[in-house]
Structure 1
Amino acid sequence: MTRESISSIATALVVGGGIGGMATAISLAERGVRVDLIDLDPDWRVYGAGITITGPTLRAYRRLGLLDEIKQAGAITTKTRLYRYDGTLMQVLDEPVIEEGLPATGGIMRPVLHRIMQTRVKALDIPVRLGVTVTALESDDQGVDATFSDGSTGRYDLVIGADSVFSAVRELAFPHMAPAQPTGQGCWRISIRKPPGLSESEFFLGTDTPCGITACSPDNVYMWMLTAHEERERFMDEEELYTTLKELLAPFGGNAGWIRDNMTREDWINYRPLAAALQPRPWSSGRVVLLGDAVHATTPHLASGAGMAVESAIVLAEELAAADSVGKALAAYEERRFDRCRFIIESSIGIGRLQMEHRPPQEHAALLETALARLNEPF
């Protein structure tokens, strides 16, 4: 696919080597920008189980040129089944195909997705520096002077902060913003072999601890569960994670019950509290701009965090290619992204609130269906 070249900038620094940062680096480099990518992790790793890839997220990855690799390495489905927690089928949601030739929905293991993106970054000869972040940013009308944590410096036409919900770039350049706020829920995840009867994505509702299962390959799935978050004096160890999740799954039937009965201590289990934030405008300060969790961090209720980050990366590159000045491009990027990100975050938090208020599962399903329909709209 031919990309319109960018003439408004020649060089860019992308801070953060996760999904949003890599998507940004790829989008800019393919349009002729000389990109440096840095990440604080010296091994450029990713932790996590699987990731649900909805139709809108698949659409964004197709625009990025990575759809075929994701289809080959992941799992594609066409429906989502909604169950009561005891395994009683409530509703089957047909996932619409939002573009010709685009799969409806699917899943992939997060480390596999990162390797696919890392391979593209390397193929584009994008320099990657690991184990460093930025410690100072000085922006003027022509560019940004960056100081790095290893004492080195560099000057760039644009700096993009895609460095997670704990963004160092946000801390340095955006004093009007604040850290993401806890939502009151926590998320459990487990990676495990695929239950024999699973054919589509599944949600289990009608309890204080809703959960869902997503196929990530022909043989593997991940399951998530949402619970009210309780502050603890220390992190749970592997044994506590295993026994607690098994207890939480006690009332469940269907494939969620199968996972409870077949999970082992060797399966990867994780728990983390949820936080979200739509940061106030402006999202740029001079020639420094934010995207991804650094500026629009959401919860997993709509499986849209990765998709939002990739969309933002594509939109930023498109606006830089279309505008005759960096200022106009950053304003247009923000204008295109703000309301869509707000809707996704507010809807995700709203679904979580329904769960914490013990609302009927039909209300969850209705809000979920409305939100997914809005997500299918062009970005």
Structure 2
Amino acid sequence: MTIVSKGLIVGGGIAGLSSAIALQQAGVQCDVAEIGDLRPVGAGIGLAGRAPDALDELGVYDQVVATGQLGLGRPVMYDAAGGVLSAAPPPDDIPGAREPIGGYRPALAEILVKRATELGARVETGMSIESIVDTADATVVTMTDGEVRSYDFVIGADGINSRTRSLAFPDAPEVRYAGQMSIRWVFPSDPVDGEGWYISGEMGRMAFYHQPYPNAMYCPMVLNLPRTKMSQQEAYEFVKRFLDTYTAPAIVELRKHLTPESELIVRPFDWMLMGKPWHRGRTLLIGDAAHATTAHMGMGGGMALEDGVVLAQCVTTAASLEEAYETFFDRRFERVKTVVETSVTLSEREQQNLPPGPENGRLMGRAMGVLAQPY
């Protein structure tokens, strides 16, 4: 028997939905309030380390594999002309761990929503919270539509700009800009020969690889730019200029697909890391609300999945909610701290135009050694 019976999860992203699934599996009724529409942008996602194990515990590993591809590998590093800078060794297998998956983020979201609702979670869109007030034996929450509800606990899984964090932790550390912008480009296409990472020097770097589902090329770009907003037209013009700096045959081929109507997703690389505590009263922060990272390790989604599974384990084994939250922090902090700090360091090295040599390998190797351990 768990210490709680009903809770509110604010945020319907990976952390929120994985928490809902894991808690529902443990017999805890969950409402999920998502301010958006649960349809994330159409970009890729890599799930490595122990994240595939979390998918398995959530009961969705095989479904995610069916919409993605097994194995991520380590990309070869090229220069702008297509010359090899370094050939990375194959990834080390993690004993006992499920095989990594490369997938399509909207497909993952659809699978998680379906699993959560099948287990009995109530998922609401266009909804968030206005206030949180703890009483002696419950948390009273006012929703954005004015409805007042009572729960045993509240989980803030509402991302880097968390409304829950601003309400429960007005003294939380500020979100910081890492100094780079991300532009992700997705377009329908069969595979293009020569996929991998290309280094372009001072402007940044890009990668491209094929996604079997939905048969598209995914091209993430990391650019050394001031934090800025771009219209779709401005993004198109910038990417066109950026691609023109490459002479590698594969990039020349990719350029043929770029049009003013191309899907270009522009985001800043913001990050933040909460120290102890992650909870105040009956409210707990997880996922990007507590530990947002840049994408340099590709582990943000994996940490969110792990958060959900570990939270349910803590809730089902603790003697009190306070104990569950304390144990959750103790189990999660060093893992997510490793991801955030390593990712930010790799970003800084790129902005200094340092070569992607042994030092980057050492940083990644040390971090992946931590993440190879069971969560």
TM-score > 0.5, shorter chain as reference: yes
Paired letter, 1:237 = S
1:220 aligns to 2:216 (yes or no): yes
Q: 1:99: how far off?
A: 4.5
Q: 1:195: how far off?
A: 3.4
Corresponding residue pairs, total: 368
| Aligned-pair identity (%) | 29
The separation in 2 between residues aligned to 1:373 and 1:39, in whole angstroms, is 34
The separation in 2 between residues aligned to 1:269 and 1:206, in whole angstroms, is 19
The separation in 2 between residues aligned to 1:179 and 1:116, in whole angstroms, is 33
Task: Within 5 Å, give how 1:203-242 maps onto structure 2.
Answer: 203-205=197-199, 207-208=201-202, 209-217=204-212, 219-232=215-228, 235-242=229-236
CA 1:49–1:227 in structure 2 vs 1: closer, same or farther (change >3 Å)?
A: same
Paired letter, 1:122 = T
**Counterpart position of 2:33:** 38
**Counterpart position of 2:93:** 97
3-state SS, counterpart of residue 141 of structure 2: strand
Task: Within 5 Å, give how 1:1-379 maps onto structure 2.
Answer: 6-41=1-36, 43-85=37-79, 86-89=81-84, 90-100=86-96, 102-103=98-99, 105-192=100-187, 193-198=189-194, 202-205=196-199, 207-208=201-202, 209-217=204-212, 219-232=215-228, 235-252=229-246, 253=248, 255-362=250-357, 363-379=359-375
**Counterpart position of 1:3:** none
Q: 1:153: how far off?
A: 1.1
CA contact (8 A) 1:36 1:126 kept: yes
The separation in 2 between residues aligned to 1:70 and 1:361, in whole angstroms, is 31
> What is the TM-score normalised by the length of structure 2?
0.92
The separation in 2 between residues aligned to 1:158 and 1:186, in whole angstroms, is 36
Which stretch shows the higher mean deviation, 313-322 or 55-64?
55-64
CA contact (8 A) 2:173 2:273 kept: no
Q: 1:110: how far off?
A: 1.3
3-state SS, counterpart of residue 198 of structure 2: strand
Paired letter, 1:80 = R
The separation in 2 between residues aligned to 1:258 and 1:100, in whole angstroms, is 40
3-state SS, counterpart of residue 272 of structure 1: strand
Which stretch shows the higher mean deviation, 106-115 or 32-41?
106-115
Q: 1:150: how far off?
A: 0.7
The separation in 2 between residues aligned to 1:194 and 1:355, in whole angstroms, is 30
The separation in 2 between residues aligned to 1:177 and 1:356, in whole angstroms, is 27
Q: 1:132: how far off?
A: 1.5
The separation in 2 between residues aligned to 1:13 and 1:269, in whole angstroms, is 34
Q: 1:259: how far off?
A: 2.1
Paired letter, 2:132 = L
3-state SS, counterpart of residue 184 of structure 1: strand
The separation in 2 between residues aligned to 1:77 and 1:265, in whole angstroms, is 33
The separation in 2 between residues aligned to 1:84 and 1:370, in whole angstroms, is 24
3-state SS, counterpart of residue 81 of structure 1: coil
CA 1:247–1:182 in structure 2 vs 1: closer, same or farther (change >3 Å)?
A: same
Cα RMSD (Å) of the superposition?
Answer: 2.0
CA contact (8 A) 2:72 2:102 kept: no
CA 1:83–1:263 in structure 2 vs 1: closer, same or farther (change >3 Å)?
A: same
Q: 1:239: how far off?
A: 2.7
CA 1:141–1:207 in structure 2 vs 1: closer, same or farther (change >3 Å)?
A: farther
CA contact (8 A) 1:82 1:91 kept: yes
